[in-house]
């Protein structure tokens, strides 16, 4: 059996006395999972830790497996040693982010925003997959506009294309549909699921939209109050 | 397989430039505040440098300012001259005879006549000669401008040198034909004078002392002994700053001197005063500039927190984000210096046109050497980089998570 693309065990951090704990998470290639839970339960914090931008206090295992048959990369060690530069490189090479409000650089047009992750890695600015995604998301007419000229939905779509432009291993999205109407939200979700499967990457997103998650048959990781520890959240796979 | 490349400098610089252009109103404000400091400082320093070098140039143009005149007659031997010539700061030394013997009458014909012209011994390196004239030698002599005017003589003309002596109650007139090899510039020496080789001057003194001097037409009598001692000397320093030390050394030899130290000192005083004024203004402006730059850069970084956090999120390293901020500061400073330099060129042209009208053709009221421009540019870059590095230090502590959340 091939190892999972992402494997995490016992990831935890304290926010004051409040503990946020992820006992175990495995994501296979092509798999999408959603982090859900009540507001303020620590969904974004969890995503930041998995996204290597917040250092967890406790972490037993964090492995990311690149190509098929590659040896898993021990990210837990890098986090423990706080190797900031190496972690930044990993973010550039292995991760793709879709921030809540798009997070496009205001001084670059859409095309350059999308190309940025590839340029950072010294890859050719454009690829077939990027052009495909641009086509599919209807971004073609927007390529030469600055983010300020776009609607929130358009920004979110551009941000998604940027997040997959360099063909990362893991796509992380923090409430990507929060500002979208139901129809747009559904289209973006479907596209995320489809792209994840097609590119054989793993996707972890934060969402409140249970109905949509169910409709797209997305695996859920639910934050529930910590039974052992009063004040805290444990994220477990929904039954 | 996935390349391990990291974002390069070119990408960083390109992003920084696009950011500045996107934000051009704010960029322009920062550039303008820099220009407002750089241009006046360049002009001010240009004026100071122009005025002082003009004054110094005028001092240097007049060889008398470098001269240390020995007062009275002394007994100076060859060893003393050798010691004097070895002193640091001494530019030119020439033995001189007693003052009364260093005079002669010059005559072309009965109408063109100069009585009691000063006879000055000269040689290679004499400041009176300037850069172009060759020193006198044998029958070839040089005239001062006023002597040449009175004699209506120019280069190539022959004239007679007349020396009178009283020997055993008889007046005797020694004379020699010489050729005018050249005429000194007007500024070099104001009075009628003749520049000759030392041998000729010594011959004149020997003649007056009653010896036989065939060179002046008197071969009979006792021949003069070989010359070992001189009464005086012509002494020149090799620069304005060397005049005082050389004069001091001569005082130490118990020889009174007269110099133009006061004029030199007054130029130095002007230099000092202007330097002080310039330093105070420059420091005030520089401190104001640093404060305004610090404010502008830090406020800019606060404004761009989200963008910087996003760069970190996308995988730019901390150092790269710090460099991003510094690159922007350097770009703005280069632009500001360019504009400031253009403003300086315009301003200095106005100064030179309006105030330089009564100066010589090659004179400047306001000027800077290339080295000054380079130094000014380097210090502007240094200040901007230091201030930006402060901002960069703040920028590298921006957490990438700030870009994920709507704060």
Give me the residue spans of the domains in chain B: 9-60+266-403, 66-259
Q: Does A119 sit within 8 Å of B7, measured CB to CB?
A: yes
Q: What separation in angstroms does the CA of B201 have from each of B13, B97, B119, B180, B213?
A: 75, 7, 7, 16, 12
* Residue-wise pLDDT tens digits, A136-168: 888 899 999 999 999 888 898 899 999 999 989
Q: Does B401 sit within 8 Å of A48, measured CB to CB?
A: yes
- Nearest CA distance, A48 vs chain B (angstrom): 7
Instruction: Compute how many other C-beta atoms are within 10 angstroms of the C-beta atom of residue A12.
Output: 19
Enumerate the residues of chain A whose CB falls inside 8 A of the CB of residue B300.
none
Mean pLDDT of B207-232: 82
Smallest CA–CA distance from A169 into chain B, residue:
B2
* Residue-wise pLDDT tens digits, B235-255: 999 888 888 899 999 888 888
Is the CB of residue B247 less than 8 Å from the CB of residue B65?
no
Question: Mean pLDDT lowest for which of A83-87, B275-279, B341-345, B355-359?
Answer: B355-359
Cα separation, B278 vs B276, whole angstroms: 5
Q: Does A97 sit within 8 Å of B318, measured CB to CB?
A: no
B334 has pLDDT over 90:
yes
Hey, is B140 helix, strand or coil? strand
Smallest CA–CA distance from B22 into chain A, residue:
A107
The pLDDT of residue B2:
45
Q: pLDDT band at residue B407, thresholds of 50, 70 and 90?
A: very low
B406 has pLDDT over 80:
no
Q: Does A174 sit within 8 Å of B401, measured CB to CB?
A: no
Q: Does A97 sit within 8 Å of B313, measured CB to CB?
A: yes
Confidence (pTM): 0.73
Question: Pick from B1, B11, B404: which is nearest to A120 by CB?
Answer: B11
B337 has pLDDT over 90:
yes
The pLDDT of residue B360:
59
- Nearest CA distance, A107 vs chain B (angstrom): 5
The tokens of B49 are what?
A: 């440098």
Angle at A146 (CA atoms; ends A142, A151), nearest 5 degrees? 65
Question: Mean pLDDT lowest for which of B3-17, B59-73, B77-91, B222-236?
Answer: B3-17
Q: Does B318 sit within 8 Å of A85, measured CB to CB?
A: yes
In a 13 Å sphere around the CA of A194, the CA atoms on its Cβ side amount to 12
Three-state SS across A180-209? CCHHHHHHHHHHHHHHHHHHCCEEEEECCC
Q: Of B94 and B354, which is predicted with more confidence? A: B94
Kindly list the residues of chain B whose beta carbon comes within 8 Å of any beta carbon in chain A: 1-8, 11, 15, 18-19, 21-23, 306-307, 310-319, 399-401, 403-406
**CATH code for the part of the protein at A6-237:** 3.40.50.300
Q: Does B405 sit within 8 Å of A100, measured CB to CB?
A: yes
The pLDDT of residue B405:
65
B373 has pLDDT over 80:
yes
Question: Pick from A53, A85, A101: which is nearest to B400 by CB?
Answer: A53
Domain boundary assignment for chain A: 6-237
Is the CB of residue B404 less than 8 Å from the CB of residue A53?
yes
Residue to test with chain B: of A48, A64, A70, A107, most B Cβ within 10 A: A107
Hey, is B117 helix, strand or coil? strand
Share of chain B above pLDDT 90, in %: 15
The tokens of B75 are what?
A: 């007994």
Regions of chain A short of the pLDDT cut 70: 1-2, 67-69, 229, 239
Cα separation, A49 vs B313, whole angstroms: 12
B308 has pLDDT over 60:
yes
Q: Does A116 sit within 8 Å of B2, measured CB to CB?
A: no
Residue to test with chain A: of B6, B312, B313, most A Cβ within 10 A: B313
Mean pLDDT of B291-308: 85
Enumerate the residues of chain A whose CB falls inside 8 A of the CB of residue B5.
120-122
Smallest CA–CA distance from A90 into chain B, residue:
B315
Q: Does A53 sit within 8 Å of B318, measured CB to CB?
A: no
- Nearest CA distance, B331 vs chain A (angstrom): 17
């Amino acid at each position: 059996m091939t190892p999972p693309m992402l494997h995490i065990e016992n990831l935890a951090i304290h926010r004051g006395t409040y503990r946020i704990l992820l006992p175990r998470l495995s994501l296979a290639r092509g798999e999408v999972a959603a982090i859900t839970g009540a507001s303020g339960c620590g969904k974004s914090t969890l995503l930041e830790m998995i996204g290597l931008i917040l250092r967890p206090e406790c972490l037993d295992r964090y492995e990311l497996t690149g190509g098929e048959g590659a040896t898993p990369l021990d990210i837990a060690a890098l986090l423990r040693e706080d190797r900031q530069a190496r972690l930044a490189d990993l973010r550039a090479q292995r991760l793709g982010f879709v921030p809540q409000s798009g997070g496009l650089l205001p001084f670059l047009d859409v095309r350059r925003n999308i190309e940025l992750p590839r340029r950072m890695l010294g890859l050719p600015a454009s690829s077939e997959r990027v052009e495909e995604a641009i086509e599919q998301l209807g971004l073609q007419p927007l390529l030469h506009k600055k983010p300020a000229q776009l609607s929130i939905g358009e920004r979110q779509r551009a941000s998604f294309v940027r997040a997959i432009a360099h063909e990362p291993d893991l796509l992380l999205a923090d409430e990507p549909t929060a500002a979208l109407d139901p129809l747009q939200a559904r289209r973006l979700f479907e596209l995320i699921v489809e792209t994840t499967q097609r590119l054989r990457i793993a996707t972890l997103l934060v969402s409140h939209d249970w109905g949509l998650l169910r409709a797209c048959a997305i695996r859920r990781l639910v934050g529930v109050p910590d039974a052992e520890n009063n004040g805290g959240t444990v994220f477990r796979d929904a039954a | 397989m996935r390349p391990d490349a990291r974002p390069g400098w070119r990408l960083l610089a390109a992003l920084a430039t696009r950011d500045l252009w996107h934000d051009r109103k704010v960029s322009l404000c920062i550039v303008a505040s820099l220009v407002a400091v750089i241009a006046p400082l360049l002009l001010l320093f240009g004026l100071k440098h122009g005025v002082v070098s003009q004054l110094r140039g005028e001092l240097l143009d007049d060889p008398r300012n470098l001269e240390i005149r020995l007062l009275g007659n002394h007994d100076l031997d060859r060893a003393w001259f050798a010691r004097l010539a070895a002193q640091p700061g001494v530019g030119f030394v020439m033995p001189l005879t007693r003052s009364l013997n260093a005079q002669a009458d010059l005559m072309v014909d009965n109408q063109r006549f100069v009585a009691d012209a000063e006879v000055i011994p000269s040689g290679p390196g004499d400041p009176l000669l300037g850069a172009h004239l060759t020193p006198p030698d044998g029958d070839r002599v040089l005239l001062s401008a006023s002597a040449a005017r009175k004699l209506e003589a120019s280069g190539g003309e022959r004239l007679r040198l007349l020396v009178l002596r009283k020997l055993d109650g008889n007046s005797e007139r020694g004379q020699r034909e010489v050729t005018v090899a050249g005429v000194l510039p007007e500024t070099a020496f104001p009075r009628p004078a003749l520049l000759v080789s030392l041998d000729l001057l010594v011959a004149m003194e020997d003649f007056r002392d009653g010896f036989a001097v065939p060179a002046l037409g008197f071969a009979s009598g006792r021949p003069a002994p070989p010359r070992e001692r001189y009464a005086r000397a012509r002494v020149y320093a090799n620069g304005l700053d060397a005049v005082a030390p050389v004069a001091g050394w001569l005082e130490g030899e118990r020889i009174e001197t007269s110099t133009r130290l006061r004029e030199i000192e007054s130029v130095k005083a002007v230099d000092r005063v202007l330097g002080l004024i310039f330093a105070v203004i420059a420091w005030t402006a520089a401190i104001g500039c640093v404060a305004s730059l610090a404010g502008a850069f830090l406020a800019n970084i606060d404004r761009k927190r989200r963008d910087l956090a996003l760069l970190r999120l996308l995988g730019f390293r901390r150092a790269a984000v710090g460099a991003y901020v510094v690159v922007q500061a350097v770009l703005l400073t280069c632009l500001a210096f360019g504009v400031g330099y253009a403003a300086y060129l315009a301003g200095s042209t106005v100064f030179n046109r309006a105030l330089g009208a009564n100066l010589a053709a090659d004179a400047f009221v306001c000027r800077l050497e290339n080295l000054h421009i380079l130094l000014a540019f380097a210090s502007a870059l240094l200040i901007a980089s230091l201030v930006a590095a402060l901002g960069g230090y703040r920028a590298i502590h921006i957490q990438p998570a700030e870009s994920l959340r709507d704060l």
